[in-house]
A and B are shown apart, each in its own frame.
Chain A
């Protein structure tokens, strides 16, 4: 067994780019200073920070001043949502049942604070219904939140259409987006998406763990959530690692260099994976939107008659890391809530497998994965009473 020899769980975290690690090193040694003023060490750190902000801002067609580094995507989501809530003081908030846990747990928190919540449903491909959104808007609706790329099935939400609906309301409705799975996987221009606040994370794009950023549109007022000394930012006070920020900026540079080509390559790889899976394994189905409706790095399938934890364990024995939506693999023994919300049954959720690719994934990795999975599927199906019952019926 060779753990993580083939790593196809990049939506959880991704291998750090060697160039990003290289970019971090000086900030662990010679250039260990914090941003400050008057003295040369602090000024030097100021300049470095400004340049890193600009790199991230450029990748989003935003201004450098709109980028705030945080200790990760979850912190960015919390600063934005709780910050908006503190500024708004109350009202009606809309999100959806398929959102990322960061948004759903914050929504539950807002409910406890006296906000009223509407949870939109999702269609069979995990896309929210625009008519339902329109109908949900009330005179006191103050905030809409969404997960741009669904973290389970990879479906892309119709951001432009959502934005038009929100801006068409007769009062301001703030728009917060979680872009954890979207950033680096699709173009995101803050100039024309109408998003007010958005969270991104470094370690999903081959940057270091423990660093992310919050985009805050100029003029958006956020109440302060984390109180303390201002070192790097006035939204997340206290110290942040300059080395991690440097690594993040390098990862952004690498991701957005030849961006279109990178995206096309990811799309080709995931199309190839799905085609090979269909060719080699019977009775599988795609979960989420097909084709361009999904992010280019996500392939989520359900394999009938067998259970995902067993499949995952066997793939792991062959050095292949993937994820499953099976209840048996979850700490709470619950079927995946996104799959259940989009109308899949328990068996489809238990047998679901999520492959998330990266620019380091090769066709050879995918060939080995599919061949191994085909053998495992055959073996587990031979042990399965459900598959045996089916074969009996066919006889």
Chain B
């Protein structure tokens, strides 16, 4: 019934992008943890979360994202997010995630955020 979450990691310049695909729910924890490990393996400091292929994020999924962001910040990493619908951007603001995650409209905007001189 839930659309299983998948994650893939790609690198653009000095930005590691985790692309999530599927439902972000309580079942997302292992996928998110493994993707984070893969994305940060090279020690990069900039991490972007791509939600453009996620149509359903619930409170348990938000808790998973909070855990991921908390870990990233504990390791002094910068976290950005893009691909969120306006509704989920609002939810991120409501739960306080937007205070710790830089919300961008696109991957290009995320790249521009971390490379303002480029």
A and B interact: no
